[in-house]
Structure 1
Amino acid sequence: MSAPDRTPEAAPARVQPGGFRELGPLNWVIAKLGARAIRAPRFALFNVLGQHHLLFLLWLPYSGALLGMGKLPKQEAELVILRVGHLRNCEYELQQHRRLARSRGVDTEMQARIFEGPDAEGLTDRQRVLITATDEFVITRSMSTETWTALSSYLSKKQLIEFCMLAANYDGLAATMATLRIPLDFPD
């Protein structure tokens, strides 16, 4: 078995973003509204995933709930998502969430600290624990007792469950985007 291609952005998309015919009327409207929300001509993730009509309609509210209606503060959710994108070297996820994180109060300097890791200067103890927990969850598919205990001292039971689901969702998305080679929405 050969190693996976580590430069999916340079390679052609394996599933091209679809239009009205491929998405159907409902998913096409959702993709157009999504593109407007991110201020892009298209939302390639939606234009690809939307081609699986039912799966997209089931995934969208789940993913949206994790992103916007969760128990974790929005800044902390973005910390987790950015760290997952960094660990998975997923430029699409990072491109989207660098922008969204800034709108949620996670400035460029904080993003650099998130990418540097839990030993970066200027992080709070809580942020260090969140980054460490994300690293362990994504890399080992679990968490050490020490890290779990530290995370549990900051998060409620519901937040702990949400943390796992959030990290898993964005890890799965990173793998999906890399495998399907979803093209970036912005030229930068």
Structure 2
Amino acid sequence: MSAPARIPPGGFRELGPINWAIAKLGARGIRAPRFSLFNVLGRHRLLFPVWLPLSGYLLYAGKLSRRDAETVILRVGHLRECEYELQQHRRLARSRGLDAQFQARIFEGPDAEGLSDRERVLITATDEFVVTRGVSPQTWQALAGHLSTQQLIEFCFLAAQYDGLAATITTLAVPLDFPD
């Protein structure tokens, strides 16, 4: 059983018309009656619309492939034990070609059988970034062998974004959108 929400999801009055409309569109996008994350974060009427473009860029339009981005996001969610983040991104990852078997490899870690060198180094770099708040020179060199300069910068932003988001979700006890 999850903890009660520290800040309950808001409706029209708490979110205001713009954030409410964004939350409604988001809920439609995830095929749920409510997008709890947006209905909670949207209660900060100024911060939410500032945060959203960066988050959207990293998730939908960044320089990393969607497969690489989901690999990093799923690993962060696993490391932070953030069921909300995992629930959302298990579904999204499936739509981006990361089946349940591949997701299990991500959760197992960089030594899992069947991972490519690129996938191993992405998972290793994510582990280091989240756990030590940095990436070792050896891992960075390996990562740089697979990613461009822009992708390396984006990797750092993506890992930091989802690490911070997992901490925020957990701290606020954001309710699951799909409680089953």
Q: Under TM normalisation by the shorter chain, which class is it?
A: over 0.9
**Corresponding position of 1:135:** 127
User: Post-superposition shift, 1:10?
Assistant: 1.7
Please list every run of 5 or more consecutive structure 2 residues that lacks an aligned counterpart in the other structure. none
The size of the alignment, in residue pairs, is 180
SS in 2 for 1:182: coil
Match of 1:111 in 2: 103
Within 5 Å, give how 1:82-161 maps onto structure 2. Answer: 82-161=74-153
Deviation readout 1:28-71 (Å, 9 max, x if unpaired): 00000000000001000000000001100000011000000100
Deviation by residue 1:75-124 (Cα, 9 ceiling, x = unmatched): 01000000000000000000000000000001100000000000000000
**2: distance between equivalents of 1:89 and 1:180?**
14
- Using the TM superposition, give the Cα deviation of residue 11 of structure 1 relative to its aligned residue in structure 2, in angstroms: 1.1
Aligned-residue RMSD, C-alpha:
0.6
For residue 60 of structure 1, give the secondary structure of its aligned residue in structure 2: helix
Q: Which runs of 4+ in 1 moved over 4 A?
A: none
TM-score by length of 1: 0.95
Cα distance in 2 between the residues matched to 1:17 and 1:45: 8
With normalisation by structure 2, the TM-score equals 0.99
Q: Which residue of 2 aligns with 1:6?
A: none
- Paired with 2:2 and 2:17, the residues of 1 have a C-alpha distance of 31
Per the TM alignment, residue 187 of structure 1 is displaced from its structure 2 partner at its CA by: 1.9
2:10 pairs with 1:39: no
Amino acid across the alignment from 1:134: T
**Equivalent residue, structure 2, for 1:170:** 162
1:63 correspondence with 2:55: yes
Identity in percent? 75
One-letter amino acid of the counterpart of residue 17, structure 1: P
Q: Take 1:58 and 1:143, find their aligned partners in 2: how far apart are those partners?
A: 28
Q: Which residue of 1 aligns with 2:176?
A: 184
